[in-house]
Structure 1
Amino acid sequence: MSATPSGRFLFLNNTAGALPVFLTNLVHHHFDCIQQYEADRLDWSCYDAIILTIHSDQRHLMELAGHFDAYLKSGGTIFFNGHVVQRFLPELCAFKPLPKRGKLDLMVHREKEHPVFEGIDSAMLSFRKGVSGFYGRGMNPPPEGAEILNSVGPDHWPLDWIATRSTGGRLFMHAGNDFWGFWMIGSPQNLPIVQRLFDWLATSSNINSSESVA
């Protein structure tokens, strides 16, 4: 079995502080953490994925639409966490919260097996100490043809999905709090799950570093 490629990721921060410390404990991978408002000063072509957190300034992300488009055309991945408010990419629609939020109404369902979620069952995503709703409480409606990985609620609203553009690049959407935060807050033993996410982003990367997207 071949070794996991070393991934390089651009983490766009919009809060005080630096990169979450546990991300520096991941093996193989390198993270460049910068304030979101400095992103347009960089060449993105060397990054396997651009990481957007739930705290992103989405109005400013709209100003970066041309950079996102060029980056996706070069084969890049945008990993978005949170609720879409501004359509900074044409595939996106505004977040819709579940109309009911009882314990069973917030159940998470596996729709398709995927390496990121290998060994993770619905109960692990649905409950924390018997309480539901931490992983996600609604959806960012996906475009037609998106690959639905996990859904939430009795009507199976898409919660985690991947959309691949015909012109190149892909979006990985998680309609909840930051993926790594869900696993790591109070549970440092879950670091291997976060590792698996970034291993997959690196292994499946199609970024073409010969094409500038600055």
Structure 2
Amino acid sequence: MSTVPAGRFLFLKNTAGGLPAFFPKLAHHNFDIIQQYEADRLDWSHYDAIILTTHSDQRHLMELSNRFNAYLEQGGTILFNGHVVQAFLPELSFFKPLPKRGKFDLVVHREKEHPAFDGIDSNILSFRKGVSGFYGRGMNPPPQGAEILNSVGPDHWPLDWIATRPSGGRIFMHAGNDIWGFLMIGSSQNLPLVQRFFDWLSASSNQKPATQIV
């Protein structure tokens, strides 16, 4: 019997279609998918994490800022993918692109070993068929005290980071296209990498479902 707790995740989409094809194949976890503009009708308190894709309408996210803050204060996790253009949470700052974008200016560096990236070498994230820059080309600057997991470029700009509030609520930031696509690295055989990522999200959840978030 698995010791990994079953995770429940809210996936807010802003494109046609459903979940990425491999999500339903992940063991233990449940994904509720809903259009972003319907999100305010749900009780978020049941979810270990809310997943925001790179296609999110950030102007609309600004309208939900109070609800996101309440969810974080309850211990929830927000997984953000993309470039911040609307700072809908106090921990967020606008995206900054790298000034240089040559092949070796876009190398990804592992700043800290972490269960979210277990089994993933930074070289795999840096290059795909000899080309760099797919994983990230800049940063959403982290707040003071954030845990830096991966960086990019010769100056090690923070690319993946976690900001945790005193309440236990946290923001997992990936300043690029949706992270699960890179964990798959173009092959269904890499599903275990995505599995381990969401296993970590579930096992480390600080969510304390006590009151409805409205």
- Measured after TM superposition, the shift of residue 186 of structure 1 is 3.1
Equivalent positions of 1:77-156 (< 5 A) are 77-156=77-156
Where has structure 1 moved over 4 Å in runs of 4 or more?
none
Letter in 2 for 1:12: L
Equivalent-residue separation in structure 2 for 1:50 and 1:122 (angstroms): 26
Q: Is 1:11 paired with 2:23?
A: no
After superposition, the Cα gap between the structure-2 partners of 1:2 and 1:181, relative to the gap in structure 1 and judged at 3 Å, is closer
- Deviation per CA, 1:180-203, whole angstroms, max 9, x where unpaired? 122336311111111111100100
- Aligned-partner SS, 1:3: coil
Letter in 1 for 2:14: N
Letter in 2 for 1:101: R
- Aligned-partner SS, 1:21: coil
Equivalent-residue separation in structure 2 for 1:8 and 1:51 (angstroms): 11
Equivalent-residue separation in structure 2 for 1:161 and 1:14 (angstroms): 24
Equivalent-residue separation in structure 1 for 2:64 and 2:139 (angstroms): 23
Contact kept in structure 1, 2:110 and 2:150, CA below 8 Å: yes
- Deviation per CA, 1:95-116, whole angstroms, max 9, x where unpaired? 0010111110000000011001
Using the TM superposition, name which of 191-200 and 142-151 deviates more: 191-200
Equivalent-residue separation in structure 1 for 2:186 and 2:203 (angstroms): 28
Partner of 1:55: 55
TM-score w.r.t. structure 1 length? Answer: 0.97
Structure 2 residue runs of 5 or longer lacking an equivalent are none
Letter in 2 for 1:193: L
- Measured after TM superposition, the shift of residue 167 of structure 1 is 3.5
- Deviation per CA, 1:160-197, whole angstroms, max 9, x where unpaired? 00000124300000001001122336311111111111
State, as a whole percentage, how many aligned pairs show the same letter: 77
Letter in 2 for 1:192: P
Partner of 1:45: 45
- Measured after TM superposition, the shift of residue 71 of structure 1 is 0.5
**Please, what is the CA RMSD of the aligned residues?**
1.2
Letter in 2 for 1:37: Y
TM-score w.r.t. structure 2 length? Answer: 0.97
After superposition, the Cα gap between the structure-2 partners of 1:193 and 1:101, relative to the gap in structure 1 and judged at 3 Å, is same
Equivalent-residue separation in structure 2 for 1:83 and 1:204 (angstroms): 25
Structure 1 residue runs of 5 or longer lacking an equivalent are none
- Aligned-partner SS, 1:159: strand
Equivalent-residue separation in structure 2 for 1:74 and 1:211 (angstroms): 9
Letter in 2 for 1:8: R
Equivalent-residue separation in structure 2 for 1:167 and 1:185 (angstroms): 34
Q: Would you say how many aligned residue pairs link Structure 1 and Structure 2? A: 214
Contact kept in structure 1, 2:65 and 2:88, CA below 8 Å: yes
